[in-house]
Structure 1
Amino acid sequence: MDIKEIQNLIKFVAKSGASEVKLEMDDIKITIKTGSDADVTYVSQAAPMQMAPVQQAAPAPVASEAPAVAKAPVEIADNYITVKSPIIGTFYRKSSPDKPSFVEVGDSIKEGDTLCIIEAMKLFNEIESEVSGTIVKVLIDDSSPVEFDQPLFLVDPS
């Protein structure tokens, strides 16, 4: 069973509303528990024996690969640039609930400005702008799960 299959299983269990799921196969044993602040998944394999706790707010490929800068933006028809998510996780517009949003519609941004935070496996990754311009639209609601390469913002580069 590879990491993609495990991530899909975690997503399925989270959506199903089940509080605990155990899966045992010949060489692998998986337990997924939900209902706390975050889903917890334990994976163990027969050889070599290892227990790997995985904190899940939303699945991420590997925590150490969490980049701090958004992937290359893609041009769209109306001369806007789409800033996309570089990782899977939970999208946050603010650093904490009592702080203001990093950017609002109409704000001018420059290259290197922090646009948002994406939480992946309890790591908070600041997503920085690779372009200068004006925020035209925020495409994701605060505290929403995001997928890899999902559009987050529209930026007018002029």
Structure 2
Amino acid sequence: MGLEDIKALIGLVAREPIDEFEMETGGVKFRIRKGGAPAPAPPPPASVPVMPLAAMPTHTLVAPAQPAAEDKPEDPGIHYITSPIVGTYYRSPTPNGPSYVQPGDYVKPGQTLCIVEAMKLMNEIECDVAGEVVAVLVENGQPVEYGERLFAVRVR
């Protein structure tokens, strides 16, 4: 198909009451359209239907109210020894052995206070201040969380 044939097709479309003419010959595709408006874009490929989502309820977590006894300000002379890992708290090196420390005992930095077992490893928890143990805050054999208070020590 030559240039003269293409001109003839354009003239034919211009004279006839058609808005668009499309032809394919010899691997070449022609589209002739009347008017200035472009042809609509081909429809997008079929997609998975979108399901509208229902509004999800929101939840606000509120810390439980503390008992009145804990509402008083903390004693600035008390230092808390916390668990550096998640595990199980043990107060003695053996199941029936004496506790490392008890309330009223004086402790010094580096002294072992308890063991926290994590993944079958026994981790000795050491004191980082000198003072008197005023409270053991966890029961033997209980699970503890990272940062949970284990001992209250009055700093001397």
Structure 1 length as normaliser, TM-score?
0.51
Distance 1:103 1:154 in 2: 12
Does residue 156 (structure 1) correspond to residue 149 (structure 2)? The answer is no
* 1:121 CA drift (Å): 0.4
Distance 2:115 2:107 in 1: 16
Cross-structure match for 2:145: 147
Question: Any stretches of 5+ residues in structure 2 without a counterpart?
Answer: 1-72
Poorly superposed stretches of 4+, deviation over 6 Å: none
Does residue 103 (structure 1) correspond to residue 63 (structure 2)? The answer is no
Please tell me whether Structure 1 or Structure 2 has the larger radius of gyration of its CA atoms.
2
Distance 2:96 2:121 in 1: 20
Cross-structure match for 1:117: 115
The sequence identity of aligned pairs, in percent, is 48
Deviations 1:27-70 (A, max 9, x none): xxxxxxxxxxxxxxxxxxxxxxxxxxxxxxxxxxxxxxxxxxxx
Question: Any stretches of 5+ residues in structure 1 without a counterpart?
Answer: 1-75
Cross-structure match for 1:77: 74
* 1:97 CA drift (Å): 1.6
CA RMSD of aligned residues (A): 1.0
Amino acid corresponding to residue 148 of structure 1 in structure 2:
Y
Aligned length: 83
* Structure with greater strand share of residues: 1
Distance 1:92 1:129 in 2: 15
